[in-house]
Every structure is written in structure tokens, then in C-alpha cells.
Structure 1
Amino acid sequence: MFLKHIAIIGGGIIGATAAFYLTRPTETDSVEVTLFDDGEGQATKAASGIISPWLSKRRNKRWYALAKRGAELIPELVHGAQLGSEVYEQTGTIVTRKSSEDLKALYTEAKEKAATTPAMGEVQLFSATQVGEKLPFLTTPPAGVFVSGGAKIDGAQFVNQLLDNAQAHHLKIVHGRAKFNSSGLITCDSQQVSFDRTIVATGAWMKATLAPLGLNLAVRPQKGQLIDISVHTKESWDTLPVMMPEGSSDIIPFAGGKLVIGATHEDDQQFDLTPTKTARDELLANAGAFISNLAKEQVVDMRVGTRAYTPDFGPFFGQLPTNPAISVGGGLGSSGLTTGPIIGYLLAKSVLGELDQDLSCYTKPVSDYLANL
């Protein structure tokens, strides 16, 4: 039986998902998978987020097709990897609009999409009172559209448990920063290794990862910060929905009275990972528009990560046109928890030779984001 040696560079949401699917038992060629990751600044491990792409204001059709497919895959992935409710929970989402006319239009859009999108579940138009009943910690609840198929996810737990699962199926993890030499071989800790196929998923750092290959990737970093707020409550909060207020920060309740608020979008901070008072105060004020009497003393944690953005804000993935043995996936922006898993899945299937569909409905060609140095 042929043994294929596969490398994954980057242990974020794309790399971890690819590792999970590459290490599944198979009746075809056996594989040996090595993942390289130094963990620095990883956006996924700093993130708690929402899986609910259907009512996004984004009008990029490729992005929507990808995000929609991602929202369908994640429950299957959670079940297959036996991830717990502390990682992922389908509690529904409440999406708001500032004007009543826009909210009615959103509800109409949601009903139309739900008719052909089973993953959305039930759609309801909620008054401010009904939103307050769903989220009792709100003191000034807005009206909104409730989508029962929406979910909340803990990025760090998601990645860690996927990698634990893959390690149980013989994934090898190397904790270090892997680099290419000009010949496309991987070096890490002064050791040079050759692989049959490589998946590169280094997020905002991918520009530097690909530079030794003579390629200039059009990707930029963006700093994102979020805060965890502790709220005294007698309720469990286990099944409370998340809220996505228009023009403000998402509010995500977790068990034990924890609220996650975020995240910021800071384009001028590059790879800086320092939590800032400015971000804390901004996020606290955004939450304070709906929850009165919040104090900075209730902020129990701040997390910082670095997202990757492309010029057109679209994710990209596929084989390098200059070296088909190397596949890449990135440019997730702020939708990484939704789009990352489906990209990891599709890349894994491609590497195994099991991909039987055209990817152009999900992404532009990788060449659109590359230039020779």
C-alpha cells in the first residue's frame, strides 16, 4: 500500500480541520501527516464566534456559497469528532437592524432563504420584548430576526479538540515555525524535510511563508480583540442565543454568566498582540448600549488575534500554480470560524485525490492573489 507523506503548515482552523480529515481511517492510500505550528498570534485560538452566515450584508456570491456550505459542514464535523457542547452549540442567533423597515426586509429575506436552506432552521421576527425574554441579561433589548439554526463556537476548544482527535489517529505535531527553501522543501529547527504534498494555512503570516518560493501573496494582517465579561446570574445560560447587532459588536453568552463581546477590526496594528485599553473601552461601550451598568471590573479576560484579509475580502484556496504539490488556504477575515472548516475539508479531499467538484463557485483562482517577487 502506497504511503503518502503530507505536511500541514499552520495549526489554526484550516490546518486542524485538514488534519482531522486526513487522518480518518480510509481504504485507499495510507497517509502520514505532520503538522507544523508555533501558535503565535493565531486568530482561531483567540476567537469565540457565531456560525450564522445567511443574513450577512456581504454580497460576494462565492463567499456566501462557501460560508453556507461551511455552516452545513460544521455540525457534521462536530458529530464526527465527538466535540462537546463547550466547543459548539446550536442555540440560534438574533440579528438586528436599526430601522423597522430594514428589519422587516431582513425578515423577508430570511424567510425566502430558509425555504431552500434547511440549516437555517426556523425563522421568527421578534419584538424587543421577545428578544428580552430570550436574552434576560439585556436591559435595552432591540427587535430582531431569530434564526434557530445559528450557533456559537469556541475557536480554541474547536482547534485543540480536533488536533487531539487527529493525534489519536497518528497525526504528528511539530511545535515550531516551518519555512520553505527556494526548492520548496520544508525546514524547521535546522532540519530539512521532503513531503509528497503540503497544505499551507498560516493565515496573516502566509505572505512570509510563500516568499522563499518567489511569490508575493496579496494578504494583509488585521488585529482583532475581544473581551470576556462576567455577569452575576442564577441562570445557567447554556442555551441562550447569540446576538448580532447591526453596526456593533456581537454578544455571545456562555455558561456560567460569561459574555463574549467582539471583536475589533484594527487595520493599523499589523501583528501587534498587545491588549489595549482603547479596545476594551470600545467593546464595553458597545455592550453597554444593550446592557446597562457594565463596569470595566467585569472584564475578566481579553484575547487578541491576527486575521488575514485579501484585497477583495474573499478567502482563497487551492494548488499553487507554480507548484501543484503545495496547496494553500487563507484570507478568511472575520468569517474564519465559518469558512475555515470547509476550506480545510476541501483541501484535505484534494490532497487525497478525492475531490470531485469545481472550486470556482467558492473562490477565485489562487493565481489572482499571487505575483512573482
Structure 2
Amino acid sequence: MQKQVTIIGSGIVGAVTAYYLSQNPDLNVTIYDEGIGQATKNSAGIISPWLSKRRNQRWYQLAKAGAALYPEIVADTQMGYSVYQQAGTIVTRADPDDLQALYDLALKRRQAAPQMGTIEKLTAEEVQERIPLLTAPQPGVFVSGGARVDGDKFAHNLLKYAEKRNLVRHKGKVRLGDQGQLLTVNGQQSYDTLILAVGAWLKPLLLPMKIVADVRPQKGQLIEMQLPETWADDVPVLMPEGERDFIPFTRSKLVVGATHENDQGYDLQVSSLVEDDLFASGLKLDANLTKDQITQVKVGTRAYTRDFAPFFGPIPDNPHILVASGLGSSGLTTGPMIGKLLADYVQTGAHDWDQYQRPIETYLAPAD
């Protein structure tokens, strides 16, 4: 008899989990999604965690594993170059000593992360050669294994792949009862395992069960620009010092962003002030940009915890309900590995996650 696995949320975690579970013929997989404010659909898409200065080693191990998983998933599902492009990343530093320290860090971390590929220290002129759009380049460190991903297309393709196997998709809001009942517009639905991959919406979803999740929403905005010139497919992503990230996509599309706004709650309104700020940041890198090249402003809601670390797994005293949240601005990097680990747990009942996160009780507490 097939087991019923139900996933709430079709962002990066939900989509990857569904992708892996759909390959098991003994499971019947259903996914529900409202699709509003999803961080995956509105993200910059940089996959390059290795030069982060974050001290949380559990986060780094998770991010490193997630980055390494992308080429495998992309190859297995035959996704095109417009979805995932391993064109490298450049991280810039103006101070020569800071640049050398960054280069030394890259060489050290490559010993345990061969997927980083080639490491090069570049002059400002060499950076401009790699990214011809720049009019004010700085010296930087190039990591050939860095990549950019269109999160929306990536998740969509995984769900289409899963639908050809054993995934059923539904749109619309869901809520939980006080005992974890799954309540939909079509009434209560049964499940053997329920996976809540709803990002910043986990806290209100769990409240009926008298569980408080340590999750807060963070608003993120970015701009997409269509430029008149075209460039080669292998132009790297730029992570500049002191400015927003600068991501050339598919020959003539440029993304600048994203913001980290902690006081806007679940607001999804575009801010003209933020749009101006993002454009000004891009203009410092490419003085030839014009505002009429902006084609859209994307807005999403990330989930953050007090210690800025993600968490995932079964909720205490209820192994049939799994959660994942707190991915923050690195969700597209850590999300794939979280999805794979959740899928493995559903199928085996076993896990060894201590290297990736603190105990889940750190982030889930009984309501007063």
C-alpha cells in the first residue's frame, strides 16, 4: 500500500523534496502551494558559499553540500543553460591585504571543497575583461565553480519532473488543526507524513498546534534590467564590496540585488525608494545603465531565525510532521540539501543531521 506524503510549499525545499520522493514508487506525493511572496521565485540566484565569513560551521557544511548537489540534479533532469549556469563568481576587495586574505581563504577551503574549481586572484583590469559591463571594476578573487540559478525555473522544472512520476499538485491555502489535521478548501485531508516547507509562513501555520517557531519574515527586493548589448554565456556573477550583487543572466538580462529589509513583515509592495537604491548601486558598477532599462522589481519574503541559521526535521513528539525554515538569503544554496535530507528521512526513518544544524528544539517551542 502506498504511503501518502504531503508537502506544503513549492519553493526550493518543497520542490527538491518532491523531486527525490517522486522516484519512490511506494509513495504517493501531493504538494500544496499558495505561491505568494515565495523567496525562491524572487531570489538573485547566486550559488557560491565558499568565501562567506559566517562563523557558523554547520551552516557552511550545509551550504557547501547544497552547492555540490546542483550539477547532479541539473544533469539528471537535463535542465538547460537558462536555468543553471556554472559561469563562476568574482568577489571583489579594494584593499590589497583584504584581497590576499580572501584568496588565501579560497585556497584553504578548496581543499575540502573541490567543486570550487579554479581559484584566481584578478586585477581590476582582469575583472573587467571577465565582466565587460563594468565601468568601475575592483580587483577580486574568481571561483570557477560558482554559479547562478533561476530559482523559479529550477523549482518549476523539478515539479514537472515529479509530476511525470507520482506527484499531484494543488493550488490554494491550507491550515492546520490543533492536532495537526490538514485542512484545505476541500475539507480535511489525510497523510502519513506532512512536510511544511513554507518558509516565513511556518510560524502562523504552526500556531494552532500551540507551537511557536523562531521565524521572522525579511523582505527582499531586486531589479531586473534588459540591456541593449549582449554578452557571452560565461560572464561570471559579481559579488562586489559595498554594493548589491551584480548578476548577468542569459546574455542581456542583468539582476541587481537583493535587499535585506527586517522591518517590513510580510509586505510585498514594491518600494520606489528601494528601486532607486538598487539602481544607484548598479550604476556605481556600470555607469551606462539607465532607469528605463528596468523591466521589473521582484519582491519576496525570506525566513530568518535569531541565529540566522536554518532548521529542519520532525517536530518534537510528532515524527509524522516535518518542517524546514530559516534559510534566509542563502535559501537557494542550502535548500537542495535540506530537501534531499528530508526525502531520505521520509524513506528510511533515519538521519544524522548534527553536522548541519543545532537541535530543532532550538527553534520550536511550546506556546505559553
- The match for 1:93 among 89, 92, 109 is 89
Q: CA contact under 8 A between 2:9 and 2:31: conserved in structure 1?
A: yes
TM-score by length of 2: 0.97
Change in CA separation of 1:83 and 1:354 when aligned onto 2, cut-off 3 Å: farther
Match of 1:146 in 2: 142
Question: CA shift at 1:190, angstroms?
Answer: 4.3
Match of 2:284 in 1: 289
Tell whether 2:294 aligns with 1:299.
yes
Matches within 5 A, 1:238-277: 238-277=233-272
Deviations 1:279-300 (A, max 9, x none): 1111111111111132211111
Write the distance in 2 (CA, Å) between the matches of 1:354 and 1:146: 41
Match of 1:22 in 2: 21
Question: CA shift at 1:370, angstroms?
Answer: 1.3
Write the distance in 1 (CA, Å) between the matches of 2:240 and 2:341: 32
Question: CA shift at 1:247, angstroms?
Answer: 2.7
Tell whether 2:356 aligns with 1:371.
no
Q: CA contact under 8 A between 2:327 and 2:335: conserved in structure 1?
A: yes
Instruction: Read off the aligned partner of 2:283 and give its amino acid letter.
Output: G
Question: CA shift at 1:48, angstroms?
Answer: 3.0
State the 4+ residue runs in structure 1 displaced beyond 4 angstroms: none
Write the distance in 1 (CA, Å) between the matches of 2:297 and 2:309: 27
Q: CA contact under 8 A between 1:123 and 1:147: conserved in structure 2?
A: yes
- The 3-state SS of whatever aligns with 2:336 is helix
Match of 1:361 in 2: 355
Tell whether 2:102 aligns with 1:103.
no
Tell whether 2:59 aligns with 1:76.
no
Matches within 5 A, 1:25-40: 25=24, 30-40=26-36
Write the distance in 2 (CA, Å) between the matches of 1:117 and 1:129: 28
Write the distance in 2 (CA, Å) between the matches of 1:330 and 1:78: 24
- The 3-state SS of whatever aligns with 1:360 is coil
Match of 1:335 in 2: 330
Question: CA shift at 1:183, angstroms?
Answer: 1.7
Instruction: Read off the aligned partner of 1:132 and give its amino acid letter.
Output: Q
Question: CA shift at 1:25, angstroms?
Answer: 4.3
Tell whether 2:107 aligns with 1:121.
no
Write the distance in 2 (CA, Å) between the matches of 1:33 and 1:126: 48
For structure 1, list consecutive stretches of 5 or more residues without a partner in the other structure. Answer: none
Question: CA shift at 1:337, angstroms?
Answer: 0.6
Root-mean-square deviation (CA, aligned residues, Å) is 1.2
Q: CA contact under 8 A between 1:216 and 1:372: conserved in structure 2?
A: yes
Matches within 5 A, 1:1-12: 2-12=1-11
Write the distance in 2 (CA, Å) between the matches of 1:125 and 1:200: 43
Deviations 1:251-304 (A, max 9, x none): 110123111000001111111111111111111111111111322111111100
Matches within 5 A, 1:188-203: 188-203=184-199
- The 3-state SS of whatever aligns with 2:348 is coil
Q: CA contact under 8 A between 1:182 and 1:214: conserved in structure 2?
A: yes
TM-score by length of 1: 0.96
How many matched pairs?
A: 367
Write the distance in 1 (CA, Å) between the matches of 2:72 and 2:184: 34
Q: CA contact under 8 A between 2:27 and 2:166: conserved in structure 1?
A: no
Q: CA contact under 8 A between 1:237 and 1:253: conserved in structure 2?
A: no
Deviations 1:53-99 (A, max 9, x none): 00012111110000011111111111122211111010000011231
Question: CA shift at 1:188, angstroms?
Answer: 0.6
For structure 2, list consecutive stretches of 5 or more residues without a partner in the other structure. Answer: none
Write the distance in 2 (CA, Å) between the matches of 1:71 and 1:244: 17
- Answer with 268-277 or 14-23: which moved more: 268-277
Question: CA shift at 1:116, angstroms?
Answer: 2.7
- The match for 2:200 among 201, 204, 208 is 204
How many percent of aligned residue pairs carry the same amino acid? Answer: 49
Q: CA contact under 8 A between 2:214 and 2:305: conserved in structure 1?
A: yes
Write the distance in 1 (CA, Å) between the matches of 2:157 and 2:178: 34
Q: CA contact under 8 A between 2:3 and 2:192: conserved in structure 1?
A: yes
